[in-house]
A and B are shown apart, each in its own frame.
Chain A
Amino acid sequence: MSETMRQQIVISGVGGQGVLFATRLLAEAAIDRGLPVFTSETHGMAQRGGTVVSHLKVGPFASPLIRPGQADGLICLKAENIPAHGPFLHPGGWTVVNRASGGVGSLDADRIACDLGDPRAVNLVVLGFALAAPGDAGKPLLFCSLAEVQRVLDRRLAGRDSALKRSRAALEAGANAA
Chain B
Amino acid sequence: MTRKLMMGNEAMALGLVENGVGLATGYPGTPASEILAAVAKSRSLRTDPLHVQWAVNEKVAFEIAYAGAQAGLRTAVSMKQVGLNVASDSLMSAAYMGTVGGFVVISADDPGPHSSQTEQDSRLMAVMAKIPVLDPDSPAAARRMTAMAYTLSEAFRIPVMLRPTTRVCHSRQDVAVGTAVETGREPAFKRDPLRWAATPKFRFKLHGELEEKLARIAAWTETAPVRHNPRAGGRRAVVASGVAAAHAREALEALNLWDALPFYQVLQPFPLHADFIAHLIADYDEILVLEETVGVIEMQIGDLHRTQGKWTGSVPRVGELLPEAIVGQIAAFAGRSVDVPQLPAVAGRRPTLCPGCPHRASFFAIRKAAPKGIYTSDIGCYTLGLNLGAVDTVLCMGAAISQAAGFYQAYRHAAKPPPVVATIGDSTFFHAGVPALIDAVVQQVRFVLVILDNRTTAMTGNQPTPATGIGVGGEALAVVEIEPIVKGCGVGFCRTADPYDVKSFIKLIKEALAYARETGPAVVIARHPCVLEEARRTGRPPGPPPVVTDACDGCGFCVERFECPALVMNADKTRVTIDPILCVGCNVCIQVCPKGAIEKAKDR
Interface check B98, CB cutoff 8 A: no
Which of A30, A43, A87, A122 is in CB contact (< 8 Å) with B115? A43
With a cutoff of 8 Å between Cβ atoms, the chain B residues found around residue A92 in the complex are none
Best-buried of A45, A66, A114 by chain B (most CB within 10 Å): A45
Which of A49, A88, A114 is in CB contact (< 8 Å) with B565? A49
Interface check A68, CB cutoff 8 A: yes
B535: shortest Cβ distance to chain A, in Å? 10
Interface check A128, CB cutoff 8 A: no
Stretch at the interface among B120-128, B348-356, B437-445: B348-356
Chain A 27-48 interface residues, beta-carbon cutoff 8 Å to B = 27-28, 30-31, 36-48
Stretch at the interface among B39-47, B167-175, B280-288: B167-175
Stretch at the interface among A57-65, A99-107, A131-139, A143-151: A57-65
CB-based contact B171/A41 at 8 Å: yes
B576: shortest Cβ distance to chain A, in Å? 18
Which of A37, A78, A84, A120 is in CB contact (< 8 Å) with B344? A84
CB-based contact A37/B243 at 8 Å: no
Stretch at the interface among B206-214, B229-237, B319-327, B465-473: B319-327
Q: Which residue of B lies closest to A47 (CB)?
A: B351
Interface check B341, CB cutoff 8 A: yes
CB-based contact A31/B341 at 8 Å: no
Which of B3, B31, B137, B247 is in CB contact (< 8 Å) with A43? B31
Range class of the A interface residue count: 35 or more
C-alpha gap A89/B246 in the complex (Å): 21
CB-based contact B174/A37 at 8 Å: yes
With a cutoff of 8 Å between Cβ atoms, the chain B residues found around residue A120 in the complex are 581
Best-buried of B115, B322, B323, B350 by chain A (most CB within 10 Å): B323
Mark interface residues in B358-390 (1 if CB within 8 Å of A CB, else 0).
Answer: 000000000000000000000001011000000
Interface check B56, CB cutoff 8 A: no
CB-based contact A27/B243 at 8 Å: no
With a cutoff of 8 Å between Cβ atoms, the chain B residues found around residue A110 in the complex are 581
Range class of the B interface residue count: 35 or more
CB-based contact B115/A51 at 8 Å: no
Q: Which residue of B lies closest to A162 (CB)?
A: B539
On whether A63 and B30 interact (CB within 8 A), knowing A36-B174, A45-B115, A45-B351, the answer reads no
A53: shortest Cβ distance to chain B, in Å? 9
Interface check B431, CB cutoff 8 A: no
On whether A48 and B381 interact (CB within 8 A), knowing A31-B5, A39-B171, A68-B342, the answer reads yes
Interface check B428, CB cutoff 8 A: no
C-alpha gap A70/B541 in the complex (Å): 40
B143: shortest Cβ distance to chain A, in Å? 15
CB-based contact B352/A65 at 8 Å: no
C-alpha gap A13/B138 in the complex (Å): 25
CB-based contact A38/B171 at 8 Å: yes
B144: shortest Cβ distance to chain A, in Å? 15
Chain A 70-112 interface residues, beta-carbon cutoff 8 Å to B = 78, 80-81, 83-85, 87-88, 110
Mark interface residues in A1-31 (1 if CB within 8 Å of B CB, else 0).
Answer: 0000000000000111000000010011011
CB-based contact A122/B581 at 8 Å: yes
Mark interface residues in B456-498 (1 if CB within 8 Å of A CB, else 0).
Answer: 0001110000000000000000000000000000000000000
On whether A62 and B324 interact (CB within 8 A), knowing A49-B352, A50-B349, A68-B341, the answer reads no
Best-buried of B3, B5, B343, B384 by chain A (most CB within 10 Å): B5
C-alpha gap A17/B172 in the complex (Å): 19
CB-based contact B171/A64 at 8 Å: yes
Which of B172, B246, B349 is in CB contact (< 8 Å) with A49? B349
CB-based contact A44/B167 at 8 Å: no
Which of A48, A62, A63 is in CB contact (< 8 Å) with B384? A48
Best-buried of B4, B115, B351, B460 by chain A (most CB within 10 Å): B351
With a cutoff of 8 Å between Cβ atoms, the chain A residues found around residue B322 in the complex are 65, 67
CB-based contact B167/A31 at 8 Å: no
With a cutoff of 8 Å between Cβ atoms, the chain A residues found around residue B571 in the complex are none
A84: shortest Cβ distance to chain B, in Å? 4
On whether A24 and B581 interact (CB within 8 A), knowing A44-B114, A62-B246, A68-B324, the answer reads no
> 15 new A-B pairs (CB below 8 Å) besides A42-B170, A43-B461, A114-B581?
A31-B5, A40-B167, A40-B171, A41-B170, A42-B114, A43-B170, A62-B138, A62-B247, A63-B249, A64-B243, A67-B322, A67-B341, A68-B342, A69-B341, A83-B346
| For the complex of A and B, 3 pairs with smallest distance between CB atoms | A44-B115, A51-B348, A69-B341
Subset of 10 A-B contacts with CB under 8 Å: A15-B351, A38-B173, A41-B172, A49-B354, A50-B348, A63-B243, A67-B341, A80-B349, A85-B343, A87-B344
